[in-house]
Amino acid sequence: MPDTSPLFPPITPRRQGMLAVDDLHTIYWEEVGNPDGMPVIFLHGGPGAGLSPQHRRFFDPDHYRVILFDQRGAGKSTPLGECQANTTQLLVEDIERLRELFGISQWLVFGGSWGSTLALAYGQAHPERCLGFVLRGIFLCTQAEIDWFIHGVQWFYPELYEEFIAPIPLAERGNLLQAYVDRIMSDNPDVYWPAVRAWSRFEGRRVFLLPQPDEASSDALDLGVGRLESHYMANLGFFTDDQLIRDMGRIAHLPAVIVQGRYDVICPPLSAHRLHGAWPGAVLKMIPDAGHGALEQGIARALVAATEQFRRHGRFE
């Protein structure tokens, strides 16, 4: 069967390594593509989801110098699932450490889902370091979005919601997020493993618009996603109320494209609409036949088109 993927062919890193960012955390990084090409930083989702080899393929390797890394507590970074010393502000500092490590003055910032959140936070902290933004599946980390993630989705996936709440006693369901945090952060593996697996399954089964073949579960993914997503949601992403919209003036002069699946039930389109309203110069691409997944055909095609437009023209159309 011919490969119909809009992505560039698979590629292996030119370099990879580990960077100690404090006494506790060490992050994994990799460099892909042309060492003299246009620099871009890739920010994965979750929090806690980590990198995939597919993430390297949104960029023409002849023209881009791509830096990718596993955020604190995710993927190959150590310790896996560690929430101590793990905040948005510290992740922003880690991105700056990587920029300095690679001797890059400015770069394109590419992020989806939680990666879009982190991209906005980084850009607003360091606008002078950003050439522009490619964002997908917008998540502004507001209380309303977190409530939707936990509860609102029952309107579309009632069976998943029933499965998610089933292990939690009725007396604790008034604060379902806290009930899961209490279990996920337990020191007892018999308590936290079922909880992180339930959390990861609750999210993973609604990523794509159309059902996908069940994949073998990964303990690393379940632990990273379960612990870090619940940790960040319980702390509202370490943001003040609607901070990312309120501070848009810091980056509104920079070019951006927002790629959003019309039927995204993890990060619904309202957040992309709000961001676009606060960023009139940004280009909003609403994909009519997609959910949340970056690898859905329409979304992947729009993301590749965006990176190609930017390398050719320095803007988005």
Active site members: 113, 264, 292
Roughly how many angstroms between the first and final C-alpha of the chain, as a whole number? 32
Q: Phi/psi at 164 (nearest 5 deg)? A: -70, -40
Q: How far is CA 114 from the centre of its chain?
A: 3
Q: What is the DSSP letter of 315?
A: S
Structure tokens that stand for 224 in this block: 């990273």
- Can you tell me the distance from the alpha carbon of 78 to that of 174, in angstroms, rounded to the nearest whole number? 34
How many other C-beta atoms lie within 10 A of the C-beta of residue 10? Answer: 10
Is residue 16 packed enough to be buried (19+ CB in 10 Å), middle (13-18) or exposed (0-12)?
middle
Map tokens 């409530």 to a residue: 147
Q: What is the DSSP letter of 78?
A: B
Q: List b or e across 34-70, with b for residues whose CB sees 16 or more CB atoms inside 10 angstroms.
A: beebbbbbbbbbbbbbbbeeebbbbbbbebbbbbbbb
Close Cβ partners of 219 (under 8 Å, ≥ 6 residues apart) = none
Q: Phi/psi at 149 (nearest 5 deg)? A: -55, -40
Q: Which residue blocks in 126-268 are alpha helix, DSSP H?
A: 143-150, 158-165, 176-184, 189-204, 219-234, 243-246
- Can you tell me the distance from the alpha carbon of 84 to that of 153, in angstroms, rounded to the nearest whole number? 29
